[in-house]
Amino acid sequence: MAALSTDYPGTDYLIIGAGSMGMATADWLARHSDASVQLLDAFSPPHEHGAHHGETRLLRQAYGEGSSYVPLARRALKLWKQLEEESGETLFQPTGVVNVGPPGAPFIAQVEASARQHGLALDSLPGDQLARRWPGWALDDTLHGCFEHEAGVLFVERILKCWRARVEHSPRIALATGAQVIRLEAGEQGGWVAICADGQRFGAERVLLSSGQCIAPLMAGLGVDLPLTRVRKTFAWYACDARYAQDHFPGFSLTTPSGAIYYGFPDIEGAGFKMGRHDSGQPLESGEAMAAFGEHGDDVSELQQVVDRYFPGIGALRHGAVCQYIRTPDEHFLIDEPLPGLIVAGGFSGHGFKFASALGEALGIWIDQQRRLPELALFGLARFSSLEGSTQ
């Protein structure tokens, strides 16, 4: 144990934020390291205050956000299936995923390019053929679709519960819930110290900061400016007919002719047809309360107009919810070590969870072996040239 002071408990590693990335990293460390680890979370995961609630996330490999993600996506799928086998839980539903948009739209073009580059199975077909294949769509040949057979749906809250159960069985890992970190300081004898709102202090030689909206404020207190912004997002569930059952309808992304981007899920286990909008949203400050679903003027209408246009078998709105995205300016992740021994992992919202199994492995290797895997090169802080010289 690397105790930094007699005034507070010290461990080898400290993970601040026990959500998707923090818990995945702790799970990897529990199985591959002899180090002692302290996890801190302001709430009790899984919860609704981060980016891992809402039941489901899409898992794709032919990636519209860039071909560089594909090796990470492939590794993640292997690890998801391994976790499913080890836990005995259903964590992944192979529904397939179809990406729909105008022919030549950048997202669709990148999906097809990713599939070609990495040899992924992908069916490309015009919208009218897609609608014949899945009658739940109302499409014509002005739109185009790419169907990925091996894609599907992850059950996020089940996954967090599995990780938490495994972590809590490890004698080397401690999870403290209700531990709201309000400040980070350099340790008197090296390493870093986290100070909580209730006065508790935790120290470690190496730290992973993966606490979503709190990352930027905590790093600002150390003189490091990170380009992370917070956005309020909405999603909703609808009544639907049998065309949208999980055995008959895939997960999807939809780029409309105007360029708006939506995503959705079939009716899984009777939950209803689920849909949200990926772009747009309302900016929020860190810690600012989110307005409930329906309190913003566009909450219902921005989803309903798409339901009315493209999904003929969708019925009444059942209920809606809100969540938050934490984004970087280019919407790629931010994973780096801006100060020695202090790794930050953020900017995942919108498309990060599907990679959590592989990123937990990569972050575990980085914190434990001080080795950065090449798959993480895309996500470094140096790509934001305006931040050069911002660390002290």
Catalytic residue chosen out of the listed positions 144, 206, 332, 354: 354
Task: Mark whether 32 is an active-site residue.
Answer: no
CA distances from 302 to 11, 58, 295, 314, 317 (A): 48, 21, 13, 15, 13
Three-state SS sequence of 206-258: EEEECCHHHHHHHHHCCCCCCCCEEEEEEEEEEEECHHHECCCCCEEEEECCC
Burial of 200 (0-12, 13-18, 19+ CB in 10 A): middle
Catalytic residue chosen out of the listed positions 11, 25, 56, 234: 56
Catalytic residue chosen out of the listed positions 53, 161, 296, 383: 53
Catalytic residue chosen out of the listed positions 52, 164, 232, 278: 278
Question: Tokens for 121?
Answer: 């199975």
Catalytic residue chosen out of the listed positions 243, 323, 327, 332: 323
Helix (H) or strand (E) holding 368: helix 356-369
Task: Mark whether 78 is an active-site residue.
Answer: no
Catalytic residue chosen out of the listed positions 158, 233, 274, 332: 274
Task: Mark whether 243 is an active-site residue.
Answer: no
Task: Mark whether 53 is an active-site residue.
Answer: yes
Q: In angstroms, rounded to a whole number, what is the distance separating the alpha carbons of residues 301 and 315?
A: 14
Task: Mark whether 278 is an active-site residue.
Answer: yes
Task: Mark whether 146 is an active-site residue.
Answer: no
Catalytic residue chosen out of the listed positions 57, 60, 158, 327: 57
- Bridge-partner residues for 275, per DSSP? 236, 264
Contacts with 173 (C-beta within 8 Å, 6 or more apart), sequence order: 26, 29, 30, 36, 37, 38, 39, 167
Task: Mark whether 56 is an active-site residue.
Answer: yes
Tell me which residues are annotated as active site: 53, 56-57, 274, 278, 323, 354
